[in-house]
Structure 1
Amino acid sequence: MHHISFSPPFIDQNVINEVIDTLKSGWITSGPKVKELEAEVIRLTKSKSAICVNSWTSGALMMLKWFGIKEGDEVIIPAYSYCATALCVLHCGATPVMVDISDDLTIDPQRIKEAITPRTKAVIAVDIAGWPCDYNAIKALLKSPKVRSLFVAESEKQIKLGRILLVSDAAHSIGANYMGHSAAICSDITIFSFHAVKNITTAEGGCICLNLPTYFNHEEEYNFLKIFSLNGQNKDAYTKSKGGNWKYDILCKGLKINMPDICAAIGLAQIRQYKRSLLPARKTIALKYCEHLSGFDWFIPPTLKDHSRETSYHIFPLRIKNITEAQRDQIIEEMVSLGIIVNVHFIPMPMLSFFKKSGYNIANYPNSYKQYACEISLPIYPNLTDEDTDYIIDAVINVVQSQLKNTKLQELAVIQHH
């Protein structure tokens, strides 16, 4: 019996060596490895600066607070995302304004336009499965005179920026491309996740990339955010450990969300081989899935590359034409019974109890529901063998064909009965 996990972490000897090096160094919390990882993220993305934190969620919360987002403010987000995209807004006391998505699963710029009010302070655009949003359309909208005239600046950073902040939820999309460049530089702020199942992992963690307009001093912002992420303390433990540095001060109402070196070590070993081997391995699998499934009329191919964008191949979102949510669930059950662990990205937030109780209704997001109901995320990661992917492809074809055949037979029986 096969057993194919959905997304195990990539742990090779390089990762083990880097972690052992940290343990032997006697320094395991934030220190030199975090600095090295930040430098590697800058090298990969060409961002102006990068701040590693302990999760995507805490990084997003910190950046919304940095921008001065508070009670009474609104932040526009897609309904089709993981709950963290909304929770970081709620933890600031602000209101997440959910909008529907386009067929490529990313936030629909037209829906953003309709949702903007004088209370809108930010837009969080989510790169789904590694596929970047339509950033040129979103940026053109946020910088348009009409939208700018609606913006009410109430904090120092808001006055400086002079418009709605564009945040990229790039939890899935490290390594994605937009217009021939890293997709990370398309937004004012891009936040990656280094959670256990991501393309690059630090077990738990995240990284904030700053690409603000040139009138922001990126070095100053970096230094401030490092302090903000460490309880507002002006000296980190590593500096204090150097002796004679025991005196510290608290400069702001900070958070405690720094990344430790022991976690950074894992990500450091991975990011160094990301472009050379880890990302190409994912791409090979995605292209193989498309090649073998494209002959079937029920297969909706995911967008992997077009004239302006290329995905990071984080998730392979298999979508099946004209099936119901119940049929999709049945297909998943059968795949699992064959030893293949699959997933769904995502259950739209308005379908989750907490958001339902908060007044969000899935009926208002028809495309989010439509895409969710027919989506199954297939395993895609560097250590999948050719034999594994052959087995997955055969299973998908057999299970889907059989499900569709049964449905046809049931429909015929109903027609004959009437």
Structure 2
Amino acid sequence: MNIPFSPPFIDQAVINEVLDSLYANWITSGPKVKMLEAEVVKLTGSAAAVCVNSWTSGAMLMLKWFGVKEGDEVIVPAYSYCATALCVLHCGATPIMVDVLEDCTLDPVEVRAKITSKTKAIIAVDIAGLPCKYDQLKTIVREPQIMDLFEAESSRQTTLGRILLIADAAHSIGSYYDGLSAALQADVTIFSFHAVKNITTAEGGCICLNLPASFDNIEEFNFLKLFSLNGQNKDAFAKSKGANWKYDILLKGYKVNMPDVCAAIGLAQIRKYTSTLLPLRKDISEKYCEGFKGQHWFIAPVTKDDHRETSYHLFPLRIKGITEAQRDQIIEDLVGKGIVVNVHFIPMPMLSYFKSIGYEIRHYPNSYKLYACEISLPIYPQLTDLEIRFIIDSVIEAVQVNISYEYEKNV
């Protein structure tokens, strides 16, 4: 077989929506972006949504919006994709990495221990689509002693009066927390619409605002629309309408807007997300769990607990007791059978750049342990039952071949 890891979901509705954008002779930011923003608000219940050209751009925009600068600190998990820390570095601030829990989400105890007077934000990463323990994180940032430690150095920091909680929800659109959209848990939630995500715009992202009552979310939405388009008070679509060419630059903004031709892809997908695409992902996850449940080495991913349900973005298979080298060989065996898999993620302290600026993986033992035995299996709506069965059988065979007799005796 030939089973790719995560192809985009492109059906006739997606093609029609893109063609509609092309035939309209308008492909940059315009009506389809506005429609996609409205659909995100509808899906999440957020106060407002701002589409941008990537998760990374959205995160940088919000850190800058909050006034994060050189000398500041932002707490991030060591177990995440590099963008979680790079957005902090691009603002001149320092990422303070902490270890994660067994479910791969940010460890609240570690977070609290790392907060200083320099801490301006926490970026909590919903790995594989599972929301972080937001109740605990929200309690921490609101503790009187933690709030007393907070030093406001911008007008928005003064308005908030505490550490900003950002959800890195690159994986978790459609996840739930206490029966509601998980996007409502943080002050700011940022989705990725990259090509491999549950909803894609080829490249793109979306900022969801759920700021407290001290802010006017719509006013901040209007500011962010300016901020994401060079600080320009009219986008190209508005300027194209008759004698409307005059514009002004109101602030030193960035150029990170999403084009309509990209929004069209996501628009078609999000309209059938909760009814069709997300249930199909959940069904595949359940079939994997059922297929592996009799294997003594299988560590099932947390997909649902008393508070949280994942978006089923990844199926992070973990194999009990194996080494990193064994995991790599299992991957090679699966690729040899035509199954493309992945690993999420190489902890940032193991990457050359982060090692060069002083991060060491020995300080994040749980991140390494989780990484060393993890294989992300294909999970997307187009997978057939035959392909799922082939993947399950192939994984079982590859694990059996690569686990030693000594390991079998000691499990």
Distance 1:309 1:408, change over 3 A: closer
CA RMSD across the alignment: 1.1
Match of 1:81 in 2: 80
CA displacement at 1:409 relative to structure 2:
8.8
Match of 1:107 in 2: 106
Match of 1:142 in 2: 141
Match of 1:63 in 2: 62
CA displacement at 1:405 relative to structure 2:
3.9
Matched, 1:349 2:342: no
Q: Deviations over 1:310-364 (max 9, x none)?
A: 0000000000000100000010000000100000000000000000000000000
Partners of 2:308 and 2:294 in 1: CA distance: 24
Matches within 5 A, 1:91-102: 91-102=90-101
Letter in 1 for 2:131: P
Q: What are the ranges of 5 or more consecutive residues in structure 2 without an aligned counterpart?
A: none
Letter in 2 for 1:199: N
Q: Secondary structure at the match of 2:127?
A: coil
Partners of 1:229 and 1:245 in 2: CA distance: 21
Match of 2:39 in 1: 40
CA displacement at 1:408 relative to structure 2:
4.5
Matched, 1:50 2:49: yes
Partners of 2:319 and 2:146 in 1: CA distance: 38
Partners of 1:233 and 1:339 in 2: CA distance: 49
Matches within 5 A, 1:189-208: 189-208=188-207
Letter in 2 for 1:313: Y
Q: How many residues align?
A: 410
Partners of 2:22 and 2:406 in 1: CA distance: 57
Partners of 2:163 and 2:34 in 1: CA distance: 30
Distance 1:338 1:410, change over 3 A: farther
Match of 1:219 in 2: 218
Report % sequence identity. Answer: 69
Match of 1:153 in 2: 152
Partners of 1:45 and 1:409 in 2: CA distance: 46
Partners of 2:20 and 2:326 in 1: CA distance: 49
Q: Secondary structure at the match of 1:129?
A: helix
Partners of 2:263 and 2:245 in 1: CA distance: 25
Partners of 1:185 and 1:287 in 2: CA distance: 26
Moved over 2 A (4+): 405-411
Letter in 1 for 2:9: F
Match of 1:374 in 2: 373
Match of 2:175 in 1: 176
CA displacement at 1:75 relative to structure 2:
0.1
Partners of 2:214 and 2:68 in 1: CA distance: 21
Matches within 5 A, 1:5-404: 5-404=4-403
Q: Secondary structure at the match of 1:377?
A: strand
Q: What are the ranges of 5 or more consecutive residues in structure 1 without an aligned counterpart?
A: 412-418
CA displacement at 1:410 relative to structure 2:
12
Letter in 2 for 1:64: L
TM-score calculated relative to the size of structure 2: 0.99
CA displacement at 1:246 relative to structure 2:
1.2
Letter in 2 for 1:322: G
CA displacement at 1:303 relative to structure 2:
0.4
Q: Secondary structure at the match of 1:317?
A: strand
Partners of 1:237 and 1:258 in 2: CA distance: 11
Q: Secondary structure at the match of 2:283?
A: helix
Distance 1:237 1:298, change over 3 A: same
